[in-house]
């Protein structure tokens, strides 16, 4: 009898615990049913994130929720404004009212809009929207960029030297940021400066970059510039001009000008950033090919602009360079496959190969500062896998150059190996091999590898 009673009591206790667990579980499920969240927000089929730019003035925004919403409640919470005035729109619902499709009326170009849905009661059965949404986006620019590398794309910027004398410097630009100084470019978030090679064909380089950016739909939200370092035969009036020293930051050849080619790029960046006309500019890319790559490698380690604008991300890409600056006297010996101190090569550590006898632009800057900047600044070596020729402009006679490697591909790989060997824990350098491309600027800038490089840094 007692045994039967004990079994009965145990069953009653087990049944009570089971029912209690079931009730608690049901309560938890009920709590989950009383909340909802956003699964996705898209604009014209693309994810819409806070700070998005270049949104078309006629757009469709879709918001998908985790469960049904009550349309009247949603419309009471939703707000889309330009900061003060509410935007007109219409809304439709689908998927059993789990998706709201917002069709925006004609928005203003180059304008900032704010979309918000505060937390609140949003579901038909009291489901609560807890997280809330608040994001802003910028509509497209409303200007047509100049993309063809013609004279119509040329901008001229005045530069003043230390004595107050004024000179002119020309560049190709997709937007007029010099004369049209009253316009605010809200939808531009990056600046690309592409430097020509030995032939000083800035128009071609501008066209190469235009083609690359256009293929990525970046041509409207990017300000891109190709500076033109003229020689004496191309200069007119007060134009600045250089011998081949422009590649290394030398002063212009104009009598008494004393303006470094590096100062020119500093001044362009200052003009753009200090104007306040590019409030959403976050990244500056400086890139060059061949002799332009030599310019960029030296500008990367020397320039003053990066330290001046610490809130902007600077990126330097060096495509198929033919000679490099090294922080010390070590060079890679391809026969022994180790770094050595060369002998019998006078001047192998002189500028532009090393710090000794450097340019006036670097006056007063210690070598240790230059080394730190070279190591830590974001530098990418873009190396064409087929750039192995020793003909053309590649220096294969002077020991200062041949110590760097037998061809451009090797020279790029050797400087990257140097950084990994001696500054492995601190360097901010990357190597990208561009497959099946030789010494070809257009091939490099329109390669899938270069385009991915730009995409990865968005």
CA distances from 221 to 147, 217, 314, 322, 414 (A): 13, 8, 17, 32, 36
* Spatial CA neighbour of 292 closest among 225, 202, 224: 202
Of residues 245, 319, 250, the one with CA closest to residue 286: 319
In whole angstroms, what separates CA 437 from the centre of its chain? 23
Q: Could you give the 3-state DSSP secondary structure of residue 250? A: coil
Q: Is residue 2 part of a domain?
A: no
Same domain, residue pair 114 and 157: no
* CATH assignment of the domain containing 116: 2.60.40.1220
Last-in-domain residue among 110, 139, 168:
139
List pLDDT tens digits, range 264-276: 999 999 999 999 9
Instruction: List the structure tokens of 378.
Output: 């974001």
Q: Are both 97 and 223 inside the same structural domain?
A: no
Shared domain for 133 and 181, answered yes or no, is no
Residues 250, 211, single domain; the answer is yes
Are residues 123 and 137 in contact, defined by beta-carbon separation less than 8 angstroms?
no
- Let me know whether 430 and 301 are in one domain: yes
Domain count, the chain: 2
List the structure tokens of 395.
């220096």
Q: What domain range is 41 assigned to?
A: 35-139
Give the ranges where 34-138 is alpha helix by DSSP (H). Answer: 71-77
Is residue 356 located within the same domain as residue 294?
Answer: yes
Distance CA 363, CA 254 (A): 20
Is 105:63 a contact under the CB 8 Å cutoff? no
What is the pLDDT at residue 446?
A: 98
Question: 361 and 216, same structural domain?
Answer: yes
Task: Give Rg (Cα) of the chain.
Answer: 30
Instruction: Let me know whether 243 and 127 are in one domain.
Output: no
- Cβ–Cβ < 8 Å for 442, 436: no
- Going 156 to 158 to 161 to 163, the CA torsion angle's sign is positive
Phi, psi (rounded to 5 degrees) for 214? -65, -35
Tokens, residue 288: 């060059």
pLDDT at 33: 52
- Residues 6 or more apart in contact with residue 441 via CB below 8 angstroms: 197, 204, 205, 208, 289, 290, 292, 319, 320
Is 430 inside a domain boundary? Answer: yes
Task: Give 34's contacts (C-beta < 8 A, 6+ positions apart).
Answer: 123, 125, 126, 127, 128
Stretches in the chain below the pLDDT threshold 50: 1-32
Tell me 151's DSSP state: G
pTM of the model: 0.88
Of 91, 112, 139, the residue at which a domain comes to its end is 139
| Segment 148-155 long-range contacts (CB within 8 Å, at least 24 positions apart) | 148/207, 148/210, 149/203, 149/204, 149/206, 149/207, 149/210, 149/226, 150/203, 153/203, 153/206, 154/228, 155/179, 155/225
Look at residue 146 and tell me if it is in a domain: no
- Residue 109 CA, distance from chain mean position: 23
Same domain for 363 and 271, yes or no, is: yes
What is the Cα–Cα distance from 34 to 302, expressed in whole angstroms?
A: 60
Indicate whether 173 belongs to any domain.
Answer: yes
Q: How far is CA 337 from CA 333, 390, 421, 433, 440, in A?
A: 5, 20, 12, 21, 28
Structure tokens at 84: 């003060």
CATH code where residue 428 lies: 3.40.50.1820
- Asked whether residue 170 is domain-assigned, the answer is yes
Asked if residue 407 and residue 367 are part of one domain, the reply reads yes
Q: What is the pLDDT of residue 24?
A: 38
Whether 303 maps to a domain, the answer reads: yes
Structure token digits, residue 209: 């970059």
Contacts 24+ apart (CB under 8 A), 425-431: 426/375, 426/376, 427/375, 427/376, 428/375, 428/376, 428/377, 428/378, 428/379, 429/375, 429/379, 429/380, 429/381, 430/378, 430/379, 430/380, 430/381, 431/380, 431/381, 431/383
For residue 12, being part of any structural domain is answered with no
One domain for residues 188 and 311: yes
* pLDDT of res. 106: 86
Task: Decide if 123 contacts 67 (C-beta within 8 A).
Answer: yes
Residues 295 and 443 in one domain: yes
Question: How far apart are the C-alpha atoms of 319 and 289, rounded to whole Å?
Answer: 5
Contact 202, 196 (CB under 8 A): yes
Q: Domain boundary at 139, 173, 190, which?
A: 139
Q: How far apart are CA 350 and CA 339, in angstroms?
A: 18
Chain position carrying tokens 């140097």: 418
How much is the pLDDT for 412?
98
405 occurs within a structural domain? yes
């Amino acid at each position: 009898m007692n045994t039967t009673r004990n079994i009965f009591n145990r069953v009653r206790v087990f049944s009570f615990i089971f029912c209690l667990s079931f009730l608690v579980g049901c309560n938890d499920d009920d709590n989950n049913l009383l909340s909802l969240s956003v699964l996705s927000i898209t604009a014209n089929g693309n994810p819409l994130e806070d700070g998005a730019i270049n949104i078309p003035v006629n757009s469709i925004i879709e918001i998908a929720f985790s469960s049904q919403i009550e349309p009247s409640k949603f419309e009471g919470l939703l707000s889309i404004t330009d900061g003060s005035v509410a935007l007109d729109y219409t809304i439709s619902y689908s998927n059993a009212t789990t998706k709201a499709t917002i069709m925006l009326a004609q928005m203003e170009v180059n304008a900032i809009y704010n979309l918000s849905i505060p937390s609140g009661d949003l579901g038909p059965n009291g489901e609560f929207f807890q997280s809330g949404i608040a994001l802003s986006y910028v509509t497209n620019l409303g200007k047509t960029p100049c993309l063809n590398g013609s004279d119509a794309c040329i901008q001229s910027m005045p530069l003043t030297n230390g004595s107050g004398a004024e000179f002119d410097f020309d560049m190709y630009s997709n937007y007029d940021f010099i004369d049209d100084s009253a316009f605010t470019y809200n939808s531009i978030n990056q600046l690309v400066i592409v430097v020509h090679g030995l032939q000083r064909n800035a128009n071609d380089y501008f066209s190469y970059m235009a083609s690359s950016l256009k293929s990525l739909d970046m041509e409207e939200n990017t300000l891109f510039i190709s500076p033109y370092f003229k020689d004496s035969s191309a200069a007119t009036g007060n134009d600045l001009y250089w011998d081949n020293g422009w590649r290394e930051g030398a002063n212009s050849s104009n009598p008494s000008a004393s303006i470094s080619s590096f100062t020119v790029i500093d001044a362009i960046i200052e003009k753009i950033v200090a104007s306040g006309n590019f409030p959403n500019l976050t990244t500056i890319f400086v890139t060059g090919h061949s002799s332009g790559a030599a310019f960029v490698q030296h500008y990367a380690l020397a320039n003053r602009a990066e330290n001046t604008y610490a809130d902007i991300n600077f990126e330097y890409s060096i495509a198929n360079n033919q000679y490099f600056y090294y922080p010390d006297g070590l060079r890679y010996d391809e026969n022994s496959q180790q770094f050595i101190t060369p002998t019998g090569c006078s001047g192998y550590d002189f500028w532009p190969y090393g710090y000794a006898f450097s340019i006036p632009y670097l006056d007063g800057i210690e070598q240790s500062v230059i080394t730190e900047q070279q190591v830590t600044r974001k530098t990418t070596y873009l190396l064409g896998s087929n750039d192995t020729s020793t003909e053309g402009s590649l220096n294969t006679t002077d020991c200062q150059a041949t110590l760097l490697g037998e061809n451009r591909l090797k020279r790029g790989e050797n400087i990257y190996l140097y950084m990994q060997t001696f500054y492995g824990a601190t360097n901010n350098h990357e190597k990208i091999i561009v497959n099946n491309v030789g010494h070809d600027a257009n091939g490099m800038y329109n390669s899938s590898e270069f385009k991915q490089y730009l995409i990865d840094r968005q």
